Amino acid sequence: MLNLHFPHPWCVAKFFAYPLSIFCLMQIQPAFAGVISITTATESRISDSSDTIEIETVVRNDGDEPALDVALEFPQLQKGFAVTSRLEPAKEERVIVKLTRQELGVSGQGQFVVTSRITYRDQNYFPLSAVHPISLQLPPLPPRLIDFSFPDLRLPIFSVSKGKASFPVRIRSLSDTKTKLDSISVFSPLEISGSVTGVSQTLELNPKQQVDFKLEIDNHSGIEGSRYLVLIIARGSSGGLSFAETARVQVEVKRPWLNLRLVAGIAIILLALGGYLLRLRRGGVAKTD
């Protein structure tokens, strides 16, 4: 006769408590990770009698982790300006830079957009960045001539994984006359890159005409669960006045459904289950009568 002796349920619970605790800690660990959220505000001072434009930028950390080595960079100028070596949560710092109109590509009158980035590092010294558009207005200003929209989207929020993805964008003329665009470009943080396809870099729009094209996003090192601001900028001139229209797009890096923590947690539970069954098989069989 074969007698099987099964352990008390409390013993089973204690046996699985350790691996289950490890699994739960692995899953909730990201919730305790620090967050750095950089916001900016800019004030520009332009004098008609001077060729120099003074740009004052306020950089604020709305996260819960300090940002290290914070700097303001102008990629097209290959220039950078230190903001602070450490920006604590809920704190802000100011930086004032003086650049010439020629350096900024500003000539004549109208509206201009200067692209810059805030670069910084987290506690692990991982490099991060955020785009920072600077709007410059030299009156008189032209009327609004074009706008951007995103077909089939209520909000301009795009989700990407690792690698490349493309999204539809529409540009539309608001003018009753032809509108000439000198360039359509994309400006992005360093973690991802962007470009436009399906449209000429220089474009002439007929009155009320709309043109569809693609925004191509390549995610190099975006952090899972983070959102990055990407700019689509159309520049041109009308009636002797410069204009610049900017579309702000949020690119969200998706978390993979099957991540390493989940796989490791399942493996731990399966190993514990296998060990328990093996122990039960060895120790739970009595002598046969």
Record the tokens describing residue 208, joined without a space.
């009320």
**Is the pLDDT reported for residue 287 higher than 50?**
no
pTM score? 0.78
**Is the pLDDT reported for residue 20 higher than 60?**
no
How sure is the predictor about 276, in pLDDT bands with cuts at 50, 70 and 90? low
pLDDT of 163 reads 86
Higher per-residue pLDDT: 234 or 281: 234
Residue 115 contacts residue 104 (beta carbons within 8 Å): no
3-state SS assignment for residue 22:
helix
**Is the pLDDT reported for residue 234 higher than 90?**
yes
Label residue 172 exposed, middle or buried (CB < 10 Å: 0-12, 13-18, 19+). middle
**Is the pLDDT reported for residue 281 higher than 80?**
no
Q: Which domains does the chain have, with CATH numbers?
A: 35-141 (2.60.40.1470), 142-253 (2.60.40.10)
pLDDT of 49 reads 79
User: Can you tell me the mean pLDDT for 112-131?
Assistant: 96
Alpha helices in 92-195 (DSSP H): 101-104
Q: How high does pLDDT run on average in the chain? A: 85
pLDDT of 81 reads 97
Q: Tell me: the pLDDT tens digits for 124-138? A: 999 999 999 999 999
User: Can you tell me the mean pLDDT for 84-109?
Assistant: 95
Secondary element (H or E) of residue 184: strand 179-187
**Is the pLDDT reported for residue 8 higher than 80?**
no
pLDDT of 73 reads 97
